Structure formats: structure tokens, C-alpha cells
Copies of this chain bind each other. A is one copy, B any other.
Amino acid sequence: MPRTPSENERIRRATTEQILKTAMTLFCEKGYYSTSIDDVAKQAQISKGLLYHYFKGKEDLLAALVDLRINDVLVVMNAAVAKTTPSEQIQHIIEGALEDVSRQPEVFRFYLNLFTQPRLDPVVAKYSQKLMDEQARQFEIQTDMFVRLGVAEPRQRSLYFSSTLQGIMLMFSTYPNSFPLEKLKAQAIAEFCNNK
């Protein structure tokens, strides 16, 4: 007897998630190019054919993961925007971002790696660009916060802020075991969350 449609739907969801989780893990461990579709299918305990049933190809896996990432960033940003004072908003950005990276440094590292991919890489550049575009969008919102904070040159301040925050994330994800994340977080909050 055939499965019910809802049962099918449940299976689809579970399998999709399983594949994505496996792909994320392997991409983080070995990188996109050094991970084969065979690796993913084997580790996800499904057949290669089935994987292609769920995703159009290797690139499609990457696309899905990038969308997930962008969504994560958006969640933090939206929560920040919901705060009342610009000071709280910026603080939330710092805390959200560092919370993210501290939970899964390799994941952040993977996206950062993708982000820094050469511009003409025939496969990967598209997703690198997508991440950059999204970051640019976030940047505009964040700059508004600095405007409302009343700093002298808000755009420049916002850039400096982004640089510091990205730099902390980069350093932490590089040396996750020895980097005093909390202390640097405090320092960043002290520096950026009030109009000096």
C-alpha cells in the first residue's frame, strides 16, 4: 500500500534535512571541492541517486546552505532592529554574531571561506557574491543605527564597527581554543554601544 501524502512529505523533509546536515558537516571539514557527492550520500546513508532526487546537484547543496546562512544572519538582524535604542541594537548585533560564531566556529569559518572565494571561480563565486550582497544590505540597516546613535561620521563608524566585529569573528574561528571571546566582546560593546 502506498504511503499517505503527509507521510511522504514527512520523509521528504527529514531526508532533505539529513542531506543538508551531512553536506554542511563535510564541507566544513574538508571544504566544498574536496567533498564528493559520493561522500555526502554515503555519510547521509542514502544512495547517490536519491540525493539527486532531492537536490539538482552539488551546487544546489551549496545554494541551500547559503540560504540557511543568510537566514541566520537575518534572524539576528531582525531581532536587533526590534530593540528600542540604537545602543541596544548594536549590542544585539555583537552578541548575536559572536554567539553564532562561538557555537560553531567551523561553520562560520566555512562561510567566511566561501565569502573570500575568488571572484571568477566558475562554481562558487555566485554564492560568494550572494553572501556579499546580503552583508551589504545588513550594512545599510546597521549604519542607520549609528545615525540614530548620533556619532559624527556614522557611515565610517559603521564600517569600522563591521571591520572590528568581522575581525573578531575571523580571529576566533581561526583560534577557537585560545581566543578570549567574552573579553573581546565586552571591549567591542564598550567601544561601540554608546556615543562617546
Contact = CB atoms under 8 A, between A and B. Distances in A.
Interface of A: 2, 27-31, 33-34, 47, 106, 109-110, 112-113, 115-124, 132, 135-136, 156, 159-160, 162-168, 170-171, 173-175, 179-180, 183-184, 187
A187 B156 contact: yes
A116 B121 contact: no
Main DSSP-derived SS at the A contact region = helix
13 contacts: A2-B47, A27-B118, A28-B118, A29-B120, A30-B121, A33-B34, A34-B123, A106-B118, A113-B117, A116-B174, A159-B171, A160-B187, A165-B167
A167 B116 CA distance: 13
